[in-house]
Every structure is written in C-alpha cells, then in structure tokens.
Structure 1
C-alpha cells in the first residue's frame, strides 16, 4: 500500500469570545493511492477543518501532515503552494467556476497558472473532460450547464493537473440526491481507475456506501473507522478515544462494539 496522504495527531484550536474551540483533536488519518475515504459527521463536527489541514489550506495548532513523502507542515508558504499545485486537486461544494469562461477554459485555468505548454494543456483538458463525460460540452459556460454538469467540470479541473490526491469538501451539497449519487460514482470510478487517493467529506448517508473506508467525526474527534482498509494507526486512535471516554468495567455480558463518546453520554443519561 502506497500512502499518498497522512496526518498525525492533528489538532486545530480556534480562539472565540466564548473560549477555545477545538475543531480537530489528535486525529490520525491515512489515505492510500487508489482509495476513497469518506469523512462523515454532522455540521460542526470538524470535517472541513480536517480537510483544510490535510490540503495545506490551514495549518494545525499541533500535529503533522505528509503529502507523499513530503512533510507539508514543515514547508514555508511558497513551497506549500507549489506542493498543492503539483500534488493536490480540490473540489468545492460551490463549484467555484468562473462564469465568463467556458467549461474547457475553467479546466485549463490551473494549467495556465503553472505554465503548462499550450499543446499539453489542450491534451490534458480534453482528457479531463472526457473522463467526466463532458467532452461534448467543452464550449459551454457554467450558466448553460446543469448543477451536476458544473460539478463535473469542477472535478475535471481538479484532475487536469494529474494530482496524487483529490480533496472534496461536501461536493454534492448543492445537488439533488440522484445527481449527487452520480457525482460520487464518478469520483469513485476516477479513484480506482486513475489510482488517485481521495478524501471526501459528507453528511449524506446515501453517499457513504461508495467509500472504501468511512471515518466518523464528532466534536472534532474520530469516533469510528469502518472499512476493510482501516489503518492500524486509526484503529488504535479510536480505541484510545473510547478508553478515555469510559472507565474499564468487568462484565459477564457478551462482547459488543465499543461505544462512541456520544453513545456513552446517551447511555449515561438514560441510566440516570
């Protein structure tokens, strides 16, 4: 297994008028090439903060991030920006397309920024639009496309630079359930056919089934990791969280799945 993205003991704390807000707390996470990881949790659980830390859009209060074999958290801003351009692709909930540009021109934009030669730009744009099923819509502007088509243009833009890692924050948040499922199927297909490592945040339970692995966040902490590719580090981190939440007890009842912190609190309230 080739790790494309790794976070170690990631913590992000924000100051507020009401005191410190712990958006992420001691999160260990790994994403391998060819793997689709979904981060799930309610609004405010810390999903966007975690993806921003992993994508180098924000810096952790403590902890480290590796993109491939490069420690991103050790880089200065210029080197980090270059690393993002070369190895990361981002997909946003709001699509982020420029209205006056055609689909092809939107996809081409990041390639222009890194001064990719014109002939290669043209080839990559055509390939990216073909992969997302929009080869016949290259000349259309965003207002002439449906919401699902606009998000597919966003995905094409993210993969045109041939990144190692795809980071998508609520990419289906503005889509109806049928279109959302189609977009997630597309991301899953690209991950497995192109060997991308992808991490996608969502609160939609219908989209979770497309994932190779699902990480549940609650109050900035990982409360569960499900899937055949769950890493040893992540499983150990969840076990430590559960152990800290509940004192050890001796029971003669049959073994069961460990409680999350939220379930433990609910059980205590019911007992009272």
Structure 2
C-alpha cells in the first residue's frame, strides 16, 4: 500500500461561541496518498472547510493529529515551521480565486516564489512554466478583471503549484463557476494531481465533479460517513 503524504488521525475541532461550544468536526480519520484526488463532500455546515483548514495547516485541531508523510505532526509544529510547510509543501486553491486585482496573472503566480526568495531568473522561468501548465501562457500580463472566472481560477491553480508542493488543498474551487467551466477546472485538477503525484483534497457539493475523484469521503454534522465509491 502506498504511504500517505497527509493524514488526519481522530481530529476534532470545537469552536467556543456565546451560545455554547460548536463541534464542527468530530473524530475524523483519513489519509491521502501521492497521486490521489480525494473529494470531500457534504452539505453546507457539514465541516468540509474546517477539515481542509486543518489538513492545510491553516488551523489546529482541538484534539487528534494531522501528520505529514515524513512523520512530522503538522498540528503540533511551532507556527514558524507550519508557515514553512505551508509555503513549500502545500498549495491552496480558493473558491473566491484570491487573486490580487492590481497584479497581472504572472505577478499573482509569482507571489509564492517571492516569499521563498527564489532568484528572479528562476522565478520568471517557473512562472512561465506554471502558466503554460494551466493553458494561460498568452494571458500572463492580463489582470484578474480582464480574465474570465475560469481563467482566474486557472491562475489560482498555477499559483498553488508554482512552488512545486506535494499537497494540494482546494476548498470549493468551482463554487463560483458555471457547470461547464467547473467541469473543465476539476478535470484540470485531476490531470495535474495524477501527472505530478500530488496528494489532493478537494471539497465540493457537485455530484458531477465527484466523478473525477479517485475517492470520495462524506461528512455529515462534522462526522465522517461510510466510504463513498468514486463514480467513473
């Protein structure tokens, strides 16, 4: 069996509110192997975003562990080390695209490499390669408002992959797209996951998009349901 790149071990997340504790996630255990696209499905409020935030190191569980393939417990690392993992090993794709409006497509993609202090020559080469990977070589100098929603999300995917991570986290990446564009974006994510050996976790509520998953897990009220077979 292939070793997992990312694992959640009995993770729970409780949020304290004025009305009492909210159990957003309860005892969820799952893992993701390299080259595997795992789709997390469930109704609104089921805990999908909470789970992805924990897997991506954007939040820490109240109990349980998130473990990287090298054995490090992501959820217990000092914040400085978590930040380093997020910059070098994890790529994020957001529903709202998350692009900076005043920057060109190339400049948006370049941001992770600037944070890593990659030298300018290597930055330019890797940005060009990332844009070509998502089919946007001819749109490098355009700003987000000059691009369609699908093109903006392709820029977001290029930005997520430019630092060559081994984990991809995508929270409802097609939520703002029409059905045809959404299917295209999901197919792109599937192809890149397999081609690059990524461990990819994508949340969606769209049953059509689940057909592109290698595996589907389902959340209900913060708990993992029985395994769901991927549809081919």
TM-score in same-fold range (> 0.5): yes
In structure 2, the residue matched to 1:127 is: 129
In structure 1, the residue matched to 2:203 is: 201
Post-superposition Cα deviations, 1:221-247, rounded to whole Å, max 9, x if no partner, equal 00121247xxxxxxxxxxxxxxxxxxx
Post-superposition Cα deviations, 1:149-204, rounded to whole Å, max 9, x if no partner, equal 00000000000000010000000000000000000000000000111110000111
Q: Mark the runs of 5 or more structure 1 residues left unpaired by the alignment.
A: 229-272
1:24 aligns with 2:49: no
94, 105, 108: which is aligned to 1:106? 108
Distance in 1 separating the partners of 2:95 and 2:226: 25
State the 1:47 CA deviation: 0.1
**Range moving further from structure 2, 153-162 or 120-129:** 120-129
Distance in 1 separating the partners of 2:155 and 2:184: 14
Distance in 1 separating the partners of 2:124 and 2:99: 18
74, 77, 97: which is aligned to 1:75? 77
In structure 2, the residue matched to 1:178 is: 180
Distance in 1 separating the partners of 2:147 and 2:42: 30
Kept after mapping to 2: 8 A contact 1:128/1:159: yes
Higher helix share: 1
Q: Secondary structure at the match of 2:46?
A: coil
Kept after mapping to 2: 8 A contact 1:217/1:224: no
Query: Higher relative contact order at CA 8 Å, sep ≥6: structure 1 or structure 2?
Result: 2
In structure 2, the residue matched to 1:33 is: 34
Distance in 2 separating the partners of 1:227 and 1:87: 28
Kept after mapping to 2: 8 A contact 1:23/1:220: yes
In structure 1, the residue matched to 2:50 is: 49
In structure 1, the residue matched to 2:14 is: 13
Distance in 2 separating the partners of 1:208 and 1:170: 12
State the 1:17 CA deviation: 2.5
Post-superposition Cα deviations, 1:244-265, rounded to whole Å, max 9, x if no partner, equal xxxxxxxxxxxxxxxxxxxxxx
In structure 1, the residue matched to 2:163 is: 161
State the 1:117 CA deviation: 1.1
**Range moving further from structure 2, 69-78 or 84-93:** 69-78
C-alpha RMSD of the superposition: 0.9
Distance in 2 separating the partners of 1:225 and 1:123: 42
Distance in 2 separating the partners of 1:109 and 1:210: 29
In structure 2, the residue matched to 1:253 is: none
Structure of greater Rg: 1
Distance in 2 separating the partners of 1:153 and 1:43: 26
State the 1:15 CA deviation: 1.3
